[in-house]
Amino acid sequence: MSGEVQAAAVLGGLTESEELEDRRGPQRPRRRRIGLGDWLLPVYVVLAFIFLLIPIAYTFVFSFNDSLKSNIAWRGFTFDKWLNVCNVEGGAVCEAFGNSIVIGLVSTVVATTLGTMIAIALVRYRFRARSAISLLLFLPMATPEVVLGAGLAAQFLAVGVPKDMLTIILAHTMFCISFVVVTVKARVASLDPALEEAGRDLYGSPREVFWRITFPLLTPGIMAAALLSFALSFDDFIITNFNSGSVTTFPKYIYISASRGIPAEANVIASAVFLVALAIVVIAQVSRAARAKRLAAQMG
């Protein structure tokens, strides 16, 4: 899951890292001779980016391929696949995509709710075996997915639960909770307890204090955790494959169709997901910059 752990770090750091950039002052130009390092670094950066972006670019470009069955050779440009994305193989791509979205949303909501409650409990309250629980919560992150998936499948079999959407949602919720707890815990720990005390002092009942003070202040952490959960659930293949029975999710569909040539419609959906994610990041950046500008104007 190392790729996902990285994603966790990226999402968790999303809020702070950008602000640093704004504080960096303009750099003073310096005149000096052009040496080896001056061209080596840009070349290295360009190569690294090409390496990183080739698969994405390939996927995107081939979503416009006028392919027949397999989507390997370039046969000409067309918008057909984008316009008729659900018309191939009786809509199997879209059905798989829909399943993934439903599973992602449900397990994100459940895991984020439970994980947030666990995180608050772990930071704010003292109870028996608290540190043991903290440690155990890391286990699903550290355990290889194959082991988790196989273990869960065996349990479902033993209990006699038929494998369908529900078992997938249960499995996803289970491994997402750990990531939510880790993300939200950091946020709870940085919350000044005096703020909640002030809320109680100012006649707020426990419920009002939670919804008006604790929750809004935790929102950035909870949002990051939810995004992370959704991303983890949406692209999980290994655990899903063990526990899905006949239900097909988007990653599972791609895996199955890879053996006989992935249809261009899969590229369309993958590209669309990528574009949506990119749009979210851009919107977030633009609104952040606008907010910073407005704040600066107010201060001035």
- Phi/psi for 65 (5° steps) reads -80, 135
Pick the closer one to other proteins by CB: 51 or 203.
Answer: 203
Q: Give whichever of 41 and 136 is closer to other proteins, judged by the CB atom.
A: 136
Query: Largest Cα–Cα distance in the chain?
Result: 74
Does the CA dihedral 238-239-243-248 come out positive or negative?
A: negative
User: In whole angstroms, how close is the CB of 134 to other proteins at the nearest point?
Assistant: 12
Tokens 């239900």 found at:
247
Residues 6+ away with beta carbon under 8 Å from 39: none
CA angle 139, 243, 254 (to 5 degrees): 105
**Which residue do the tokens 């990119």 mark?**
278
Q: Which residues sit at the interface with other proteins, rule CB under 8 A? A: 126-131, 192-195, 197-205, 208-209, 212-213, 216-217, 295, 298-299
User: Minimum Å distance from CB 216 to other proteins?
Assistant: 5
SS3 247: coil
What's the closest the beta carbon of residue 296 comes to other proteins, in angstroms?
10
Integer CA distances (angstroms), 74 to 32, 42, 264, in order: 48, 32, 11
Nearest approach, Cβ of 218 to other proteins (angstroms)?
10
How many Å apart are CA 91 and CA 85, to the nearest integer? 8
Which of 259/298 has CB closer to other proteins? 298
Min dist. Cβ of residue 22 to other proteins (A): 15
CB of 286 to other proteins, least distance (A): 21
Of 87 and 205, the one with the shorter C-beta distance to other proteins is 205
Inter-residue contact 261 to 70 (CB < 8 Å): yes
User: What is the smallest separation between the CB atom of 196 and other proteins, expressed in angstroms?
Assistant: 9
Task: Report which of 178, 155, 152 is spatially closest to residue 238, judged by C-alpha positions.
Answer: 152
Question: CA nearest 88: which of 260, 264, 237, 210?
Answer: 264
- Rounded to an integer, what distance in angstroms lies between the CA atom of residue 91 and that of residue 195? 52
Q: Which is nearer to other proteins, 133 or 170 (CB)?
A: 133
Nearest distance in Å: CB 181, other proteins: 19
Paired strand residues for 77: 65
Residue closer to other proteins, measured from CB, 34 or 297: 297
Q: 165-189 and 215-234 are packed helices; what angle lies between their axes, rounded to 10 degrees? A: 140
Complex with other proteins: residue 29 or 193, whichever CB lies closer? 193
Cβ distance to other proteins smaller for residue 251 or 288: 288
